[in-house]
Structure 1
Amino acid sequence: MSRASSAPHNRPQLAIVMGVSGSGKSSVAKALAEKMGYQYLDADDFHSDEAKACMAAGTPLTDAQRIPWVHNICAHLNQRAKNEQSCTLAFSGLRRSHRQQLRELPFDVVFLYLDGSKALIAERMNTRNNHFMPTSLLDSQFDSMEESATEHDVVKINIDAELHEVVQNCLQHLRARLSSSTR
């Protein structure tokens, strides 16, 4: 039985929009939050200044550097759950262990994995402004993404479409998930 169908009906929802840098996580998570009446959160806001500087300099983070980041995200989300606030979270979700930590929070959790080709994502990264993550780290992002095919709560969403179509696809999956969790 999936976690959604066994979850109490009063649990807040946590829609985690995951994928490599440049896949559109922030744009999709913001749009979903607006359409669903959820609080939007961006995992990038929980990185230390040192971690952002490291990435901006073209150096990928180590797993050890990611530990306090994930801890900060979980601590913040625990507060949101206590307030029964449903949220969307733009979060890379590169590591299974990080995804598992988020599953253990008091939310009904679903992961929307924005999946696209390296060429498409590189093209998108080259057009954005004022982001600390350089295109040069895209290979390391793809290399770090651990397979999620066996994780029942991860839904792959093809991003080779217009933003509104990607958002609509995500909304359909979220609404289906919500209706199944309230049965």
Structure 2
Amino acid sequence: MIPVPTVVVVMGVSGSGKSTVGRLLAQRLAVPFLEADDVHPAANRAKMAAGRPLDDEDRRPWLLSIAEWIREATDAGRGGVVACSALKHEYRRLFLGAGAGVWFLYLALDRGTAGRRVAGRVDHFMPARLVDSQYATLEPLRPDEPGLTVDAVADPQTIVDRAVRTVRAAR
């Protein structure tokens, strides 16, 4: 049996370390990396930069483009890693439907730490005042969803080590 290529979606609120952990994980697994923030439509970026949270209608085209990337990665047999908030169960179901090997790494983080991290960013469209809206939308990873929940305060390399062990054991 040929193993199904895994696409890991590194999920969580802004400031949880998705990009950092995602890049490290993609390097370790030797697979392509997608920074989902890079595929946000300009209108979404502008809305967030203006301090207005996105709604499901705003997110839909963005989520569909990520699902297409997942589909292409699994169809090509290469797998990949995506850094994407994936805040709701319904968004994650969309990703699960895009490829057989989708697996989630949820970087759980408290509001205070997320707010401080986002406030300390330079040149990012997501303002710290929107962190609360992300927590209002967040539906943590459920036990029936394939993946792992980790404390996002941990060292990124430690998180990656644990994720790699868990992904490989799940194959």
* Structures share fold, TM-score greater than 0.5: yes
TM-score (norm 2): 0.93
Deviation for aligned residue 1:72: 1.2
Deviation for aligned residue 1:161: 2.0
Cα pair distance change 1:154/1:80, threshold 3 Å: closer
Task: Identify the residue that residue 158 of structure 1 maps to in structure 2.
Answer: 151
| Unaligned segments of structure 2, at least 5 residues | none
Deviation for aligned residue 1:156: 0.6
Code of the aligned partner of 2:143 = T
| Unaligned segments of structure 1, at least 5 residues | 1-7
Across the two proteins, how many residue pairs are aligned to each other?
Answer: 171
Residue 65 (structure 1) aligned with residue 50 (structure 2):
no
1:137 counterpart (119, 127, 130): 130
Q: Deviations over 1:9-62 (max 9, x none)?
A: 342110110000110001001000001101101111221001011011110001
Give the alignment's Cα RMSD to 1 decimal. Answer: 1.5
2:7 and 2:80 in contact (8 A); partners too: yes
Written as runs of structure 1 = structure 2, the 5 A alignment for 1:23-38 is 23-38=16-31
Deviation for aligned residue 1:165: 2.0
What is the distance in 1 between the residues matched to 2:89 and 2:49?
24
Task: Identify the residue that residue 101 of structure 1 maps to in structure 2.
Answer: 94
Task: Identify the residue that residue 173 of structure 1 maps to in structure 2.
Answer: 166
What is the distance in 2 between the residues matched to 1:55 and 1:125?
13
1:56 counterpart (34, 41, 49): 49
1:83 counterpart (59, 73, 76): 76
What is the distance in 2 between the residues matched to 1:163 and 1:10?
27
TM-score (norm 1): 0.87
